[in-house]
Amino acid sequence: MSEAAQGGTKRILILGGGFAGVAAAQYLDRTVAKQNDVEITLVNRENFAVFTPMLHDVAGGELEPVHIANPLRKLFRRVTLLTADVQAVDLSEKRVTISYGLGLIRRLPFDYLMLALGSETNSDGVPGVAEHALTIKSLGDATMLRAAVIALLEAASAEPDFERRKRMLTFVVVGGGFAGVETVGAINDLARESLPHYGALDPLEVRVVLIHGGTVVLPELGEELGLYAQEKLRQRQVEIKLKSKVTSYLNAEVQCSDGEKFAADTVVWAAGVSPSLLVNKTPFNLLKGRIVVDPTMEIPGHPGIWAAGDCAAVPDPNSKLPYPPTAQHAIREGHLIGKNIRARLSGQKSAPFIYKAPGQLASIGRRTGVARIFGLRFSGLIGWILWRTVYLMKLPRLEKKLRVGLEWLLNVIFERDLGQYVTFRDVASLNRHIESVKETHVSEARGRAASQS
């Protein structure tokens, strides 16, 4: 007899709306969610899912933010969505504490739990980075990065002091992996292609720097493609500092491990991520901050609890090492967890996760890309076309595919938009509003507590 038949309603709770969480929720939405005795809830910080491989296109002004974000409520028909932050997981009581609104708390019971909490930017304790550097992890990050580049072009065009103008026009990206290389290519294109509209600015004053601790960028694609990417970026006036790390970013000054230091108003930290810090508050065994799971992605010693994506160390049966935390792995991990939850409900055996990625791709600037697919290497225009074709196919929902495809087509004909539609005044005003609403909620909570005492 299935577990669902033995008791009352079975409550399935998914924490995280990234690639893994959404894949699991979509599978369950199509299958067990149709049963009257099953309730599925997804908790995510935002009410949308971001197609992160295209974040750099947003940062570079090639795509509008809304085109790579899918409202989660349009992806499911039966799954309940709660937009909230996960605060704690209580395994003994089988409850998860979430905070929503601005400081409101709720506890959610569960029978089955999936942890897909993702990862966070890891500044590695470098002084000043967490406080002053930008990141490229979320849709807001990409939107603010584009706004910052345009804002500094505007400010520099009005600035008479050479040294101050030079600092404004220096853009630094730290990290030579996919995120760093794609981001530096995007903002280099944005800054340099915008210069004809800023006649007072000398193109020689614009400085774009990529800092990477390794010997070649894009090490995941191999040395040959990494060297190709470096050469193409250098041809486009991107400075590349190899075997160097940022040791501090204080007072708008970048200090490097090789002794060089220079002023820059913009530093983008793409030098690595770490699993969600929430997993450190759980009793699960961790491997480099990631939850140790068995081949079916269930957590040993905790039946009915699974983990996937960036926060899980899913074992590769061939190498015995964890699979890399990439989107293509997370999607398939989430889908399989959905299947395994369904199998558990019906009393069937769970399946192990086995997957071999066909390849990886990267865009390194306008009409140039690199790719390694099924062992074959591609670069230049062909690599760029492959990147766009593959990721356009993977982008969820036909509506978004059409919007992105059309915008890419228009970008071939027209110049990119230079409007700074998100200003720092807007951000300051929003922060003031949030603080005002938060004070109201806190005051109400204190009033309720006082009346109950």
**pLDDT tens per residue, range 88-105:** 999 999 999 999 987 789
3-state secondary structure of 247: strand
Residues 6+ apart with CB under 8 A from 277: 120
Establish if 425 belongs to a structural domain.
no
d(CA 185, CA 356): 29
Average pLDDT over residues 219-229: 95
Higher local confidence (pLDDT), 430 or 350: 350
Give tens-digit pLDDT for 394-413: 999 999 999 999 999 999 89
One DSSP character per residue, 77-112 reads SS-EEEE-EEEEEETTTTEEEEEETTTEEEEEE-SE
Same-domain pairing of 148 and 265: yes
Same-domain pairing of 334 and 376: no
> Which of the four pLDDT bands, split at 50, 70 and 90, describes residue 445?
low
Handedness of CA 78, 82, 85, 90 (dihedral sign): negative
Same-domain pairing of 234 and 335: no
CA dist 1 → 345, 347, 408 (Å): 9, 7, 53
Give tens-digit pLDDT for 236-284: 999 999 999 999 999 999 999 999 999 999 999 999 889 999 999 999 9
3-state secondary structure of 122: coil
> Which of the four pLDDT bands, split at 50, 70 and 90, describes residue 2?
very low
Establish if 306 belongs to a structural domain.
yes
Q: Two tokens at 219?
A: 């090490």
112 neighbors 304 (Cβ within 8 angstroms)? yes
Same-domain pairing of 200 and 336: no
Establish if 438 belongs to a structural domain.
no
> Which of the four pLDDT bands, split at 50, 70 and 90, describes residue 200?
confident
42 neighbors 14 (Cβ within 8 angstroms)? yes
Closest by CA position to 135, among listed 145, 125, 148, 150: 145
Residues 6+ apart with CB under 8 A from 168: 152, 155, 156, 159, 265
Establish if 221 belongs to a structural domain.
yes
Same-domain pairing of 104 and 137: no
Q: Residue written as tokens 């006649």?
A: 199
Residues 6+ apart with CB under 8 A from 191: 149, 153, 169, 171, 206, 208
pLDDT at 6 over 60: no
Same-domain pairing of 286 and 327: yes
**Burial level of 302, CB count in 10 A (0-12/13-18/19+)?**
middle
Q: Quote the number of domains for the chain.
A: 2
351 neighbors 372 (Cβ within 8 angstroms)? no
173 neighbors 268 (Cβ within 8 angstroms)? yes
Same-domain pairing of 281 and 249: no
3-state secondary structure of 306: strand
117 neighbors 88 (Cβ within 8 angstroms)? no
Same-domain pairing of 332 and 392: no
Average pLDDT over residues 3-7: 48
pLDDT at 442 over 70: no
Same-domain pairing of 396 and 313: no
Q: In the predicted model, what is the mean pLDDT of the chain? A: 93
Q: Two tokens at 49?
A: 């899912």
Higher local confidence (pLDDT), 447 or 166: 166
* Residue 447 Cα to chain centre, angstroms: 39
Closest by CA position to 217, among listed 227, 204, 232: 227
Establish if 117 belongs to a structural domain.
yes
Same-domain pairing of 163 and 264: yes
- What is the domain-level CATH number for residue 173? 3.50.50.100
Strands (E), 280-336: 286-287, 290-292, 305-307, 312-313
Per-residue model confidence (pLDDT) at position 432: 78
Domain housing 96? 3-45+84-121+274-345
Per-residue model confidence (pLDDT) at position 198: 94
Same-domain pairing of 174 and 154: yes
Per-residue model confidence (pLDDT) at position 9: 92
Single residue among 345, 370, 403 that ends a domain in this structure: 345
d(CA 364, CA 186): 7
Handedness of CA 257, 263, 265, 266 (dihedral sign): negative
Give tens-digit pLDDT for 95-149: 999 999 877 899 999 999 999 999 999 998 999 999 999 999 999 999 999 999 9
Establish if 158 belongs to a structural domain.
yes
Give tens-digit pLDDT for 28-44: 999 999 999 999 999 99
Establish if 451 belongs to a structural domain.
no
- What is the domain-level CATH number for residue 305? 3.50.50.60
Q: Which of 244-258, 312-326, 438-452 has the lowest mean pLDDT?
A: 438-452
Per-residue model confidence (pLDDT) at position 4: 44
Per-residue model confidence (pLDDT) at position 3: 46
Same-domain pairing of 330 and 365: no
Average pLDDT over residues 171-199: 96
Establish if 424 belongs to a structural domain.
no
74 neighbors 81 (Cβ within 8 angstroms)? no
Single residue among 317, 345, 373 that ends a domain in this structure: 345
What single-letter DSSP state applies at residue 30? Answer: H
d(CA 173, CA 438): 35
d(CA 448, CA 421): 41
| DSSP H helical ranges for 176-313 | 178-194, 223-235
Q: Residue written as tokens 């491989």?
A: 53
Closest by CA position to 293, among listed 349, 95, 302: 302
